[in-house]
Amino acid sequence: MATAGDMTHTGSSTAIAGVKDFFNKNLVKILAFSLFLLLALFLLYPIVAVLLKSLKGPEGWTLKYYTVFFTKSYYFQSLYNTLILGLINTFICLVFGFCLAYMATRGPWWLRKPLKIVSLIPLVAPPYLFALSLIILFGRNGFCTKLFGMDWEIYGFDGVAISQCLAFIPLAFMMIENTLQSLNPNLEESAYDMGASEATIIRTITIPLLTPGLLKAALLIFVMTIAEFGNAAILGGRTPFLAPDTYTMITGESDFEMGSVLSVVLIAPCIIIFFIHNYLLEGKKFTTIGGKPVASEPRRITPAIMVPFTLVTLISCGAIALSFLVVLLASFVNILGVDNSLVLTNYFDFTTNYAIYNSIRVSFIAALIGAAIGVLLAYVIVRGNFFGRTFLEMVSLSGFALPGTVLGIGYLLAFSAPPLKLTGTLMILALNCVFRFIAVGVEAGISKLHQINIEIEEASADLGASFLTTFWRIVLPIMFPAFVAGFIYTFMTAIVSLSAVVFLVSPGFDLAAVKIFDAAVYGEIGIASAVTVKLVLIVMLCMATLHYITKKTQTGVAQKGVF
Amino acid sequence: MKKMWLSVVVAVAFAAVVAGSALGEEINAYMGLSPENNKKVVDLVREKTGIQINQTFQSFGEIEAKVKSEAPNFNADMVTGCGSPLAFMAKKNGWTVPFVSAGWKGISDVYADPEGHWFNIANFSFVLVGNKDNLKKKGLKMPTSWKDLLDPKWKGDIVMPSPLSSGTANMMRFSFLALYGDTEGWKFLEALDKNIHHYTRSGNAPTDLVGRGEFTLGITSDENVKARIDKGYPLIWSIPKEGTGYDGTFAFILKGTKKLDTAKKVIFFLGSQEMSSLLSGIGYMTPRPAPNALYGKTTPKYIKIDLAKAAEDRPKNNDLWKSKFRTDFK
């Protein structure tokens, strides 16, 4: 599609006067080049820094740190646990996410809204909220443990796997639901009319059409699961995982060489999956033609599907809702499990307010810069015609495959000494979030641009508008929804994410997510819960405001832009 | 018009968000007492000097790692609470700005470096804590000797911090090594390891975990014990008959700071009677005598320790620790 656009562009441009066009085209190239420089500096360079650190000892180049890694069974255990956790979680999240998404798009009307709300709440909460709720319920002095006299050890692999699943099912749901919604239901309906059973339809139509969405979700969840280490660090006990090990290694021992080796090992499976995902998607980008996606009518779902799907839905939504409820309750409890009287003291601990304020600042700056760069990148990738375009696209989308810990350590290694000293500032936190999450804005922008025919831009150019005018009056309004999508995603993810920024906070520039993690690791469940609740409320408030603003402005911009 | 309105909104919001808070005199410090004790010190300093210490709590071990990795481009102006290994290392490597403060006049060499490279604002120790309810339920008694902890009946029911991240745990390790000698000391730690559920990141974490009844026994820093008992946690604490170890809580100015005057004012105040009284009221042993809230009039029995040697042995012992106590592949 992009190539077709480029060809039309070149074709028509020869027809018009060449000078302006030359200038215009070079402007795109200049823009592309400066964007590439930014990516190279803030995305590639930190990763290269990690790689170099892992290969360099005090005496020069060496493989000895890798030798240590592959000969010590401890590290092997850690790697094994990490991969198994990643695979199990990805599988469970996809299955659960699909069931939820299916019910939310094909199920009865009354179910759709509540389902969506419940399963999307966790997106505004730190993922390790579920570790907190598991401790509160099933810890050795937990509520359920005492009530039922249970003898179940949550400190270990099981606990980590359960909390990670609960944390990332919503993400799977969101991504699969997005794709499901854009599938035109006509195909499924005609199959149904022709007598195919529902299971057959799901197997032969829905899932194959969903493949791109499922693959993307799988990639993202795998990477998130093995990198977001809050749950593993809180619940892991003595079960080793790579990400928390890396964290201890860097923050506890400042063993940057071994920490870098662990990061490189962590990044390897992610890159492999990234390439498999790209390979499988080659030529598989089908869309069901037929205009705008419409919400499909509720359908009579056969019991064979209805029962298991409803069960899965109830279990996951129930567990998620319960976790939030439990954390909300715990935030009002004096000493959990000891003195269960209700108090407000946890909320009146204002020491963390500064961190919450910082979190909002960082996320806001990151979202603004990230969404802007994302939209520009998408534009040059789709409309540009220059050497290295595919490479630029790959680099900007690689953020999907980068574990947060790696980018955190990379920033620490790359930007801690002059002339590029950024550590100890607020900006390093914001920049880290910008480039970690830039892929979403880029992708939203690319898909938006693919939907819009280049003819509008060409018409504008033909009528004598300069490149900048065209960009400002035509392209930007079209891209506005992509900008909003990038902004919202970056804002939400940045504010709750821990795995990268935990390495970059410094005195005076603390973040709420890190504070909650510290309190939880420390055993101060009440404080951790209260800060979580505060953070969730603030994020929701921000999202509501954003939603309101975009709704107010979007209609205006869209009208102005397209007509 | 709409678009303009939008850009105005965005610009205003951006400005508001970026501007941030402009307070009075501020200083950034690494500080690792415990989150709540950090706050108490910060509050007292602000109240008496008007200086706001921006700090983020980290374990002593983590502060050590951080300062070591940042040298010589530090991201803070000073350290107001770290263990002896870092303080001695900083002096040796020239990371500090020496400053003989009048505020520390009359304080013994144990608490203030004669050349002014470091200042020890308080000594702390480690104690054994138990959860009263759990002990009663299981019909068990608080151990009276550290060796009692090796009994298999405690298996999986003891928590202690990890010496890789926690200065308190480092202190425990060098104290046991000093008490039993190197060979016997490691044997003791290995036997103890069999009963440890897991090693926590911070030295105070076992106090909370045992206090909430997640585990029955904990070897923990004495810093928060008094506060938790006062708050109503069913905690009981003791120092087994062999005694306990100690380490200081060191403060010093980091080279390269642009706020030397402010840092000096903070150091000056840290040596005051008010600061000692505050910390003593929490349970620390302080440079200027004050009534101690945890130990009262008694002085706990101390294991004889050479802090300089302990600091020197730390890397070697960390390596040994890792080779011994990490889970093997199953």
Distances (CA, A) of A473 to A106, A469, B51: 39, 6, 51
Q: Which of A76-90, A139-153, A185-199, A432-446 has the highest mean pLDDT?
A: A76-90
Distance of residue B5 Cα from the nearest chain A Cα, in angstroms:
9
Beta-bridge partners for B235: B131
- CA nearest to A404, candidates A228, A245, A230: A228
Q: Is B256 left (phi over 0), alpha (psi -120 to 50) or beta?
A: left
Q: How many CB pairs under 8 A join A and B?
A: 169
For residue B12, the model assigns a pLDDT of 58
Reduced to 3 states (helix: H, G, I; strand: E, B; else coil), residue B233 is: coil
| DSSP annotation of B263 | H
Instruction: Provide, as residue numbers in chain A, all residues whose Cβ is less than 8 Å from the Cβ of B322.
Output: 74
Residue A3 has pLDDT above 80, yes or no: no
CB proximity under 8 Å: A 430-469 to B: none
Where do the CATH 1.10.3720.10 domains begin and end in chain A?
Answer: 1-62+343-563, 76-330
Is A240 an 8 Å CB contact of chain B?
A: yes
Residue A290 has pLDDT above 80, yes or no: no
Is B31 an 8 Å CB contact of chain A?
A: yes
Compare all CA atoms of chain B with the CA of A341 and give the residue at the minimum distance: B232
Tell me the two tokens of residue A400.
């999907």
Is B193 an 8 Å CB contact of chain A?
A: no
For residue A198, the model assigns a pLDDT of 82
Reduced to 3 states (helix: H, G, I; strand: E, B; else coil), residue B81 is: strand
Residue A437 has pLDDT above 80, yes or no: yes
Q: Which residues of B184-202 are buried (b: 16+ CB within 10 A; e: fewer)?
A: ebbebbeebbebbbbbbbb
Q: Find the radius of gyration of the CA atoms of chain A.
A: 25
Q: Which residues of B294-309 are buried (b: 16+ CB within 10 A; e: fewer)?
A: bbeeeeeeebebebee
Distance of residue B55 Cα from the nearest chain A Cα, in angstroms:
4
Q: Length of chain B, please? A: 330
Q: Helix axis angle, A353-383 relative to A512-522, nearest 10°?
A: 130
Instruction: Provide, as residue numbers in chain B, all residues whose Cβ is less than 8 Å from the Cβ of A473.
Output: none
Say if residues B194 and B155 touch (Cβ distance below 8 Å).
yes
- CA nearest to A390, candidates A46, A12, A13, A3: A3
Tell me the two tokens of residue B24.
């009075």
For residue A4, the model assigns a pLDDT of 42
Compare all CA atoms of chain A with the CA of B77 and give the residue at the minimum distance: A507
A150 or A355: which leads in pLDDT: A355
CATH architecture of A1-62+343-563: Orthogonal Bundle (1.10)
CATH homologous superfamily of B125-245+302-325 equals Periplasmic binding protein-like II (3.40.190.10)
For residue A291, the model assigns a pLDDT of 43
Q: Which residues of B115-146 are buried (b: 16+ CB within 10 A; e: fewer)?
A: ebbbbbbbbbbbbbbbbbebbeeeebebbeeb
Q: State the CATH class of domain B26-123+247-282.
A: alpha beta
Is B15 an 8 Å CB contact of chain A?
A: no
> Which residues in chain B come in under a pLDDT of 50?
1, 19-22
Tell me the two tokens of residue A547.
């939603």
In one-letter notation, the amino acid at residue A492 is M
Give the containing element (helix H, strand E) for B122. Answer: strand B119-131
A486 or B172: which leads in pLDDT: B172
Contacting residues for A7 by C-beta, under 8 A, at least 6 apart: none
For residue A21, the model assigns a pLDDT of 64
pLDDT band of residue A14 (cuts 50, 70, 90) is low
Distance of residue B276 Cα from the nearest chain A Cα, in angstroms:
23
pLDDT tens per residue, range A489-514: 889 888 988 889 988 988 888 899 99
Average pLDDT over residues A283-303: 59
B269 or A401: which leads in pLDDT: B269
For residue A554, the model assigns a pLDDT of 57
For residue A341, the model assigns a pLDDT of 82
In one-letter notation, the amino acid at residue B330 is K
Compare all CA atoms of chain A with the CA of B52 and give the residue at the minimum distance: A508
For residue B4, the model assigns a pLDDT of 54
CB proximity under 8 Å: B 88-117 to A: none
For residue A13, the model assigns a pLDDT of 47
pLDDT band of residue A161 (cuts 50, 70, 90) is very high
Domain A76-330 falls under CATH 3.90.780.10:
no
Distance CA A406, CA A412 (A): 10
Distance of residue A240 Cα from the nearest chain B Cα, in angstroms:
8
Q: Length of chain A, please? A: 563
Average pLDDT taken over every residue of chain A: 83
For residue A462, the model assigns a pLDDT of 83
For residue A433, the model assigns a pLDDT of 94
Distances (CA, A) of B323 to A263, B8, B166, B190, B220: 21, 60, 18, 11, 23
User: φ, ψ for residue B237 (rounded to 5)?
Assistant: -125, 155
B246 or A349: which leads in pLDDT: B246
Of A149-163, A353-367, A451-465, least confident by mean pLDDT is A451-465
pLDDT tens per residue, range A76-104: 889 999 999 999 999 999 999 999 998 88
CB proximity under 8 Å: A 99-158 to B: 135, 139-141, 155
For residue B3, the model assigns a pLDDT of 54
Where do the CATH 3.40.190.10 domains begin and end in chain B?
Answer: 26-123+247-282, 125-245+302-325
Say if residues A154 and A235 touch (Cβ distance below 8 Å).
yes
For residue A194, the model assigns a pLDDT of 86
Tell me the two tokens of residue A135.
């401790």
pLDDT band of residue A559 (cuts 50, 70, 90) is very low
Distance CA B284, CA B301 (A): 15
The shortest CB-CB distance from B214 to any of A140, A335, A417 is to A140
For residue A557, the model assigns a pLDDT of 43
In one-letter notation, the amino acid at residue B220 is T
Contacting residues for B235 by C-beta, under 8 A, at least 6 apart: B129, B130, B131, B132, B207, B210, B211, B225, B228, B229
For residue A17, the model assigns a pLDDT of 59
For residue A556, the model assigns a pLDDT of 43
Distance of residue A349 Cα from the nearest chain B Cα, in angstroms:
10
Of A302-311, A510-519, B71-80, least confident by mean pLDDT is A302-311
- CA nearest to B189, candidates B203, B199, B202: B199
